Amino acid sequence: MLKTVFPLTLIISLRFLGLFIVLPVLSVYALHLEGSNEFLVGITIGGYAMTQMFLQIPFGILSDKIGRKITIFIGLVIFMAGSIICGLSESIYGLMVGRFLQGAGAIGAVGTAMISDMVKEEVRAKAMAIMGGSIAASFAISMMLGSLIGGYYGVDKLFFSDRSFLSF
């Protein structure tokens, strides 16, 4: 069962690691972007969850029609595009678009459905627990790594831009 679930769990966990590693410092970074204010930073941070919430069901329906693997691939490509836009953004609006795109790659439910399809019913709860535990571990590790990298090397090191004024 672990051999079956491990590749998908690794993909989902790395996606969350990439998403959450900037979370401890995102508001500090976003406040220094062109056109930024506290309201827009809040929209930017919450925009990921909002687009993900609206697109989980459509992605689930799409995965039923075209298959789980291709839907996960599409979601990862959308997430990657959003991450690149976030990393390159010079303004709060670019960061906002990137975060919305990251959320648009809503593959959480598709990953869960794929695990349900891949394992026998007797071990399904264990497989889901493995996936949930790996997501929790990604969250914990990324919160520590993001804070450490931002604190020791500068917040700008978590992005593609060179904003040396954000170094602590």
Provide the pLDDT confidence category of residue 80 given band limits of 50, 70 and 90. Answer: very high
Q: Which of 65-79, 105-119, 143-157 has the highest mean pLDDT?
A: 65-79
Provide the pLDDT confidence category of residue 78 given band limits of 50, 70 and 90. Answer: very high
Beta-bridge mates of residue 34 = 91
Provide the pLDDT confidence category of residue 163 given band limits of 50, 70 and 90. Answer: low
pLDDT of 100-119, one tens digit each? 999 998 888 898 889 888 88
Residue-level pLDDT at 102: 92
Domains recognised in the chain with CATH numbers: 8-160 (1.20.1250.20)
Listed residue (78, 73, 72) closest to 48, CA to CA:
78
Average pLDDT, rounded, for the chain: 88
Kindly tell me if the per-residue pLDDT of 167 is higher than 50. Answer: no
Kindly tell me if the per-residue pLDDT of 164 is higher than 60. Answer: no
Separation between Cα atoms, residue 83 and residue 99, nearest integer Å: 7
Kindly tell me if the per-residue pLDDT of 158 is higher than 70. Answer: yes
